[in-house]
Structure formats: C-alpha cells, structure tokens
Structure 1
Amino acid sequence: MPFSTLSSRGRAWRLSSSLGVALLPLLLGLPLMYWQAATLLQGRAEKSATDARQQLDAMLDDAARSAREVIGLSGQPCEDVEQTLRSQVAISPFSRSANLVHDGVIYCTSLIGAYDNEEDADTYVQGTLRLMAGNSVTPDRAVLVYRQATAGHGVLIGIDGQHLINLLRLNGQEVALQIAVGENWITASGAVTSANNGAITEYAFETASSGYPFQVLASYPQGATLQYMQAHYQPQWLLFVILGALAGAGTYRLSLRSASPGTELKRALEAGEFVPYYQPVVDAQHGCWHGVETLMRWQHPTEGLVSPDQFIPLAERFDLIVPMTRQLMRRVREDFAGRLEQLPAGFHLSINVTAAHCQDLHLVDECREFLEAFPVGHIVLVLELTERQMITSTAVTDQLFAKLRDLGVRIAIDDFGTGHSSLAYLREFRVDFLKIDRSFISMIDSHALSRHLLDNILDLAMRLQLALVAEGVESLEQRRYLSQRGVRYLQGYLFALPMPAEALFTALQVAPDHEPRA
C-alpha cells in the first residue's frame, strides 16, 4: 500500500552520563502509547461490529419487505405464483430465493417451482431467523433464512451466505468479525459452526440487533496491542541527550513521519499519477468492438500500478473523486482525440461517475467540453452510475440528467443488482444500459439452479427494453449462454484485459473489424 508509516530517521545518542535522563521520556511514553493503541483498537472493534450489524439489519429489512410482498400468495397454487416469487427475488438486492409455506409445508420456491418439504419452525431463532451451513440446493454454501408467518401461512426468504461473507470482510479488514444467529456462528471464511470461533481475545465487542435475533462479535487476537505498537509506534520517540560538565543540555527529536491517505492522494492527483486503462466492450452478435470502459489506475512511483479497490473508496471519503474523474476525462480525451481514424463512428466511451458528481451542473460542462473534441456523432459518451453512494432524485439531478441527455450522453447503471440503489435508479432516472455484475455472470458456470437469478435479471431488463452489458465474461460457455438470451454487449477477460491507450490502439490497428484477444 502507498499509505504506510515512514520509518524512523535516527537513533538516540548514548551518553553514559545521561542514561537515566535518556530513558525517562520512553518510560513515561510507553504507557501512553499503550493506552492510545488500546483505545484505538477498542474503537475500531466497536465501529466495525456496529457497521456490520447495521448493514445486516438493512439486508433483513429488505428480506422482510420481500416477505410482506408475497405472503398473501401463500396457499395459492404454485404454478400461479412462482413467476411472482421469481420477480420479487430479481428486484431484491440480497434475496436468493423466496419460498411459500402453507400449513407447515414448504410447497413452492422461486428456484424450482413446486416443492414438498415440511417446515421445521422450531429451528428458527425466535421463529424468525435460521443460519444454515447449506441446503439441498447449495450444500456447501451458507444461507441465512428469514421467516415470516401468520395463521398457517408463511414465507421463507433466503439470503446467500456470500453477502454475509462480503459484509464481514468489508467491515473486518482490521478486526475479526463473526455473526451469531442462535447457536450458529459464521466467520469471514464462510464456515458455519455451532460455537464461537477462536480463543479468548482482546477488545471483544458484541452488539445485538434490536429488530432481529442476531449478534455481531468483533475481537482481536491476544497480544494485538503490542503487535500494533510494534508496527506503528516504533520508534515513537527518539531521545537525544547531550550531557556534559560544560553543556548539560538534552535534545529530543520526534522522527515518526506519517503520510495520511488524503495527503498522498492529493499529491498523486497533482502529479498526474491517475491514468486511464481501457477494457473493450464487444458486440456479441458481430464480434466487433462496440466501445470501451475507462478504468482508473494509480501509477504510483514506488508501488507500481495500484488497483482501484485500494484507493477509490478513500478518494470518495476525502472528496477527491470528482477532481480525479475530471482529470481522467481530460486524459481520455487526449488519448482518443488524435486517433479518430482508428475508431468507427458511434464508438462508445464509458466513464464511471458517483453521487458526488451529481451535486451540481458542472458535470454537464465537463461532458460538453469532452464531446467538443470530437466530430458530432463520432464518439458516444456513456456515464456509468456507480452504487457506492446513493444518487437521490432532486431538482438539481433532474436538470443535470436532462441536460446530459440533450448533449447525447448515455446513462448506464454499473454492477446492476449488487447495491441498494439499482431499482431506485430505474424508477427515477432514464437509463440506457444495465451492466450486469460479474458475480451474476459467474453463476452460469455453476449449478443450473443458480442461473435462475441471472435469468430473472435478464427478463427484467428485456421487459424494460434496456440494453444489457455483461461484465466479467471469462468463458465461451458464458458467452454462448448470454448471447442466446439476447445480451447484446459483452465485456471480460475472454476478449481483452484492461490496457493502456497505446496497447488499445495497437490492438485496434491489428484487428479493427473483429474481436482482439488479450
């Protein structure tokens, strides 16, 4: 990581006549450093557990909403309601399956339709939640089941264990997290056990949901405080003591230098270290390049090429994502403005934007300036709305998107189906493309039943008459499957890796009319 604490630049001079004085600040500082490290670790444990609990509460709130939508169907014939169940699952960002229960029997599921299995209501904590290591459909994949029942009717909503794993990993990057539902526990590895994993630890913090019967536990291994001090506080102070019969003076120097993430990102922005990489988007029908998605990379002077996962969230946190994207658009314009002869008319250039770009109308001016560098109609600019931050509909955003559409800018929803805001975007904004997240594409190579969720998403897009772009296509089987189901545009390692501009135009020059290979 480029965000690292710099090492010490000196060591204390040893003077035998002042040894006691030289050791005094260190002896006083060690308890203070220990207290600071302990306070910081305790705070991180509490925040990580609280954030994870709030996110799981949100998942279960969505499951409860889905259950309320379909519980009225309980008791009706499965063939009459199974499509409704699948549609409900398709529009839910977290639900893997919806199952109807009548008189204690699970008789209909969104995955396979008609079903016949007794419901074991006693296994649900407070009659509401059950954490399972797997089920008959996916025996090696954890699932969290939310239950809602009334007067002989019931609904079971399955939440894929991968969502729990992602939640624990995202919030537990610095502290180990576990989720407990009754006597069952799940860790970031995805393993479900009947007991708390791990020995007694430091700074254990447990927080329970007020709305659902689960708890989240955060903890550090034994010795974490000393390990943290060794990694971050050594040496915290360097003491120079100069004693002498004539001088009798001491000098202290603090040498620990820190480079904060915000400072490092600002330095990199000023140095122009954020560079565009391009990944082709292929027309599935003709095999030619339809356009490219622009991906931001950090060309760090010492760390090399840094992936966006390591710096994009920090850039958003420090309000730097807008100037970084503005600089990236200039780089993209410079890359393509002099190469128009290599591009077919209507070539699509996609650039990611976040909620921060939609706070005012400056984005319109930036897009206008970008498009003025090209002949009219030669380049189609596509803005991909990311879901890390929610874009809410306001008078400003309505005016913004109207002006963008007047400029001919197209709108796409990136990673559709993986965030909270996908359906809200469809309702509030006119969009042109849905980009299916790679996690759904990977289901094509798994068990056939796992494809139902992807098929529901494809069906939703077709009904809304939206163009589809499938991300993360890595195999010929995935390509055939998507092409047969009407997905027009494909993107992934099967066709090409993300590449800098020179490599991109070399590939276009070699094979402009058919798909280049990575």
Structure 2
Amino acid sequence: MPLTAKRPARWSWRSLLPWVVGVLPLLCGLLVIRWQTEHDLRASSQATSQEVVRHIEQILDSLSTAANHLLPMAGQPCERAQLALRVEVTRNAFVRSTNLFEHDTLYCSSLFGDFDEPVDAQDYTDGHLWLMDGNSVTPGHPLLVYRVSEDSRGAISTVDGSHLLTALRLIGEDDVLRVQVGNHWMGADGKVHQGTPPIAASAAVTFASTRYPFSVHGGYGADKPGAVMRARYPALLSLLLVLGAIAGGACRWQLRRASSPRAELDRALEANEFVPYFQPVVRDGDYHWAGIEVLMRWQHPREGLVRPDLFIPYAEHSGQIVAMTRSLMLSTAQMLSPHAALLEDGFHIGINITADHCRDLTLLDDCQTFLQHFPPGRVVLTLELTERKLIEPTPVTLELFEKLHAMGIMIALDDFGTGQSSLNYLRQFKVDYLKIDQSFVAMIGGDALSQHILDTIIELSAKLELGIVAEGVETEVQRDYLAHHGVDFQQGYLFARPMPGNELLLALAARPGSLRLPQDNAPEIMRG
C-alpha cells in the first residue's frame, strides 16, 4: 500500500535498474577498451609480421645472390666448381651450404664435394623455395632451401632454420608467429609441420612476401588482450568502476526520489486521485442532515482506496496538504454545485485545515472560489482546525480568521479535548464550534472519568456560547445521552458512514421533501 515502509522483498525492475545502469558504463567502457586493445594488438601483430617478412627476405636475398652467382657453373665438373661453392658459404653468414644439380641430380656440394642425390622440382614452392624438415646430414633440423635453374641445370643454397627461429622468437617476442612455405610451416617450437598453420586466438594477421613464395602468420594468445588491458589501463578501469558506481547510485537515488512519498503524492495530486468522501452531520431533535464533513480519500490506481491515516500525516508534515485540500475543495464544489437544489439553505460543509493553511491569506481565495459555486446562503462553509501542527497567533493568522468570519465562514476546533492547544485556541481565536473527539463519546455509559470530561466540554461550550458537534456516535445510548445534554449536532456510523459523492447525492435526493434528481443525471451519478 502507498507510503508504507515495509514491502515484501522481491526483485523488480526498480531494484534491477540501478545495477543495469551501474554496469552499463563499465560494460561500454570495457567494450571500447577491448576494441582499442584489439586494434592496437592487430596493428602490432601486423607490424611484427611485416618485420619478420622483411628479415626473412633479407636472408633469402643472400641465398638468391649465392645461387645466382653459382648458376653459370652448373654442369661443370665438381672439382672445378667446389671452391666457388665454398667461397659463397664463407662470404655469407646466412648461407649454410651451396649445391649444383643437373638433370634432377645433385652432383656437387660445398660440404662433401662430389655427391649423388635426386632433386625433385615438385618439392619447391613455385620451383624456388622449400622448407625442409632436415636432410641426411641434420635430420629433424629445419632448413630453408632456395633453388634457381636454367634448362636442366641449376644451383641450390640453404640456410639453417635457426635463423628463421631467431626471427620468430626475437622480433616477435610476445607474438605467436609462424612462417609458411607451401604446405609446410614452422613456429616458435622450431619444428616443421605440414598443412595449414593454426590461426592465432587474438589479433590474427597474415602477411605474404611480394618477392618470395612464403608468408608469415602472426597474432597473440587468448589471454593477451586481458593482460594488455590490465597492464595499460588500470587507472581507466578503476575510473570505469567509479563511474559505474556513481551512475548506479544516482539511478537508485533518482528511483527512490521518484518513488518517495512526496513524489507519489505529487503524482497522485496531478492525476486527481484524491477524492472527497462525505459523512453527514445530523441536528439535534429530528436528526435530519444539517450538513456534511468532507473527508479526503486516495483512490490509488493499483492499491484501491487508501486509508487517510497512511497519507494525511505525511502530507501535513511535507506541506503538501495545502494543495491537496485546495484540490479537494474544488472537487467538492464541482460535484455538489450542479445539485445545489438538493441542499437546504444554510447546509453546513465542513473541511479540515491545518497550520499550513494559516500562514498566508491564500485560504481566503480558496474559500471564496468554493462559495461562488453555490447560490448565496445555500451552504455554510466550516473550516475545522486540526492540531497535528500548532497554529501560531501571528498577525497574518489573526487577520485571516477575521476575514474568514467576515465572509460568513465558521471555524470549528476538531477533536477538541485531545490536543495540547485546544484551550489556547479558544483564548486566541474566535471559534464557532467545538467537535468532541470520538474517544470521549465512546466512553458514554462506561468510563466515568471520560464521561465527566465530556460533560465538562459540553458545559464549557454552553458557557462560551459555542456550537458543539459530537463525533463517533455509534449507538443509540450515545445518541440519547448527547441529545439529553444539549449537544447541537451529532456525527457517526449510527447515522451514516463516509460515502462517495454519488451515494451522497442519491441519499440527499431520497430524503423526504427533497427535490428529486433529474432522470438524465441519475445514471451519471450511479456511475460516479
């Protein structure tokens, strides 16, 4: 129910939204950082792969130069060419061995001189390059072989795979790098594998040489982006956490503010959810209706009719009761004025006011607006002072009460005898009625002390020539006791409970001697 402090604990969009709002900046920030990290890693991986390609191209330039220098000697006897083969190995640090072949047979080697080994051009990618998994001299040790040919003769130069391994490990220390030649590839483990190299988990790139038939595959492991983010952006990650906490806290504060009692009352006031209920006041003797007291009720769209004790005290504490009362007076006037013929002349309409209403003269305008809805003399407006807030006898308050009386408006002290300032109000302000609190009426025939207090209040009102109204009359014993002691008016469940406007109008129309409601208005009243 509205304005209650305790609600069953449950997850709802209001409880989840602050978490969502708090996580959203962090998530968006992480996505941006992740994208930036991936972008940087990809750029770094591509630069590293390009650097490895350039380094291997330099190695292959040495092999190509050596092989092309030896190509004219292919076909000559090995004893004539062997010195030239060894000179090329000596001159170039990258060249491990040089060889000559003719008619698909390697016949001369810088290592062994005369040699006899088949040469298959199909082993070489584009007829030039072969990544070998070792040879007869160093089995299982990678070699990169470069081949040039002219007709059926040619030259072959080789480089030790350790030079490739150095490039993969040193140039790309943190990268996952693999060099691929045809259907063979080698990674940082120094072993030659067949097939297609696996794609890196993060920032995978492939950069192919434009001069030689090989490519380099680069990238990083799956944990690299997280490590980079933690290493590069600790301050930014901390800031995102702080911003997320601030955003979540601000959202929670705003939701609490939006769902606060003040905000809820403002919303209800704007939606015209505060509606008048009416409880009749009967006169002594014939117990006919002499007037009504207007009671505020809250017709909540979800909770239904809300008890006044759940929202009136807070409205008085927050000062919103003034606007709520103004709305109540206007609703009452608009509801009753079309049916003013049902009201007897001098029909009393009582409305509760508090200390907040007495701080300026705005109440005069509200009362004037209310009375203008009715023919002159048809209703008597009675303002009932409550004591939940103390009314100070300031010059503004005294002027307000004087002008209210000049307008013919009556002043009554509500719940007389229960507050701390009732007697002071009698001394400080001009009062027309006392309303005996129902707690004293309930003790009739029971608590002797309370009954004596009740008798004293009745006697006091008679001496001060004040009218008196007894609230909370529920039994005939109470009714007869009050009538016997000269109480002017009575109000309570014995006569009628508080009722909505449509029921009030039907009850007024049903009274003996009253004017009947027009037939075209009756359905509208019933629907109200």
- TM-score normalised by L of structure 1: 0.52
Residues 468, 488 of structure 1: 8 Å contact kept? yes
AA aligned opposite 1:342: L
AA aligned opposite 1:442: A
Partner of 1:509: 509
What does 1:58-137 align with in structure 2 at a 5 Å threshold? none
Partner of 2:417: 417
1:233-276 alpha-carbon deviations (Å, 9 max, x no partner): xxxxxxxxxx9976879986847542111111111111111111
AA aligned opposite 1:475: T
AA aligned opposite 2:384: E
Partner of 1:103: none
AA aligned opposite 1:278: F
Partner of 1:395: 395
What does 1:326-337 align with in structure 2 at a 5 Å threshold? 326-337=326-337
Partner of 2:297: 297
Distance across 1 between alignment mates of 2:444 and 2:224:
82
Distance across 1 between alignment mates of 2:371 and 2:321:
21
Residues 284, 489 of structure 1: 8 Å contact kept? yes
CA pair 358-507 structure 1, distance change in 2 beyond 3 A: same
Partner of 1:439: 439
Q: Which runs of 5+ in 2 are unaligned?
A: 18-25, 28-221, 230-236, 515-528
Is structure 2 residue 338 aligned with structure 1 residue 362?
A: no
Partner of 1:372: 372
Partner of 1:279: 279
- TM-score normalised by L of structure 2: 0.51
Distance across 2 between alignment mates of 1:370 and 1:502:
19
Shift of residue 429 of structure 1? 1.1
AA aligned opposite 2:275: V
AA aligned opposite 1:312: I
Q: Which fold has the larger relative contact order, with Cα–Cα distance below 8 Å and residues 6 or more apart in sequence? A: 1
Shift of residue 450 of structure 1? 4.0
AA aligned opposite 2:462: M
Residues 288, 513 of structure 1: 8 Å contact kept? no
1:298-326 alpha-carbon deviations (Å, 9 max, x no partner): 11111111111111111122110111111
Is structure 2 residue 467 aligned with structure 1 residue 453?
A: no
Q: What is the number of equivalent residue pairs in this alignment? A: 286
CA pair 486-304 structure 1, distance change in 2 beyond 3 A: same
Residues 288, 512 of structure 1: 8 Å contact kept? no
Distance across 1 between alignment mates of 2:450 and 2:368:
43
CA pair 7-356 structure 1, distance change in 2 beyond 3 A: farther
What does 1:113-262 align with in structure 2 at a 5 Å threshold? 254=248, 257-258=255-256, 259-262=259-262
Distance across 1 between alignment mates of 2:16 and 2:510:
59
Q: Which runs of 5+ in 1 are unaligned?
A: 13-20, 23-242
Residues 440, 450 of structure 2: 8 Å contact kept? no
Shift of residue 445 of structure 1? 3.5
Partner of 1:345: 345
AA aligned opposite 2:472: G
- Please give the secondary structure, in 1, of the residue aligned with 2:370: helix
Distance across 2 between alignment mates of 1:360 and 1:277:
27
Shift of residue 447 of structure 1? 4.0
Shift of residue 479 of structure 1? 0.2
AA aligned opposite 1:420: Q
Percent of aligned pairs sharing the same letter: 51
1:360-408 alpha-carbon deviations (Å, 9 max, x no partner): 1111111111111111111100000111111121211111111111111
- Please give the secondary structure, in 2, of the residue aligned with 1:383: strand
Distance across 2 between alignment mates of 1:244 and 1:455:
89
1:455-475 alpha-carbon deviations (Å, 9 max, x no partner): 111111111111110000000
CA pair 395-449 structure 1, distance change in 2 beyond 3 A: closer
Shift of residue 284 of structure 1? 2.1
Shift of residue 420 of structure 1? 1.1
Shift of residue 449 of structure 1? 5.0
Distance across 1 between alignment mates of 2:344 and 2:424:
34
AA aligned opposite 1:349: I
1:328-361 alpha-carbon deviations (Å, 9 max, x no partner): 1100110111001111111000000111111111
Shift of residue 8 of structure 1? 4.0
Q: Which has the larger radius of gyration?
A: 2
Partner of 1:144: none
Shift of residue 424 of structure 1? 1.0
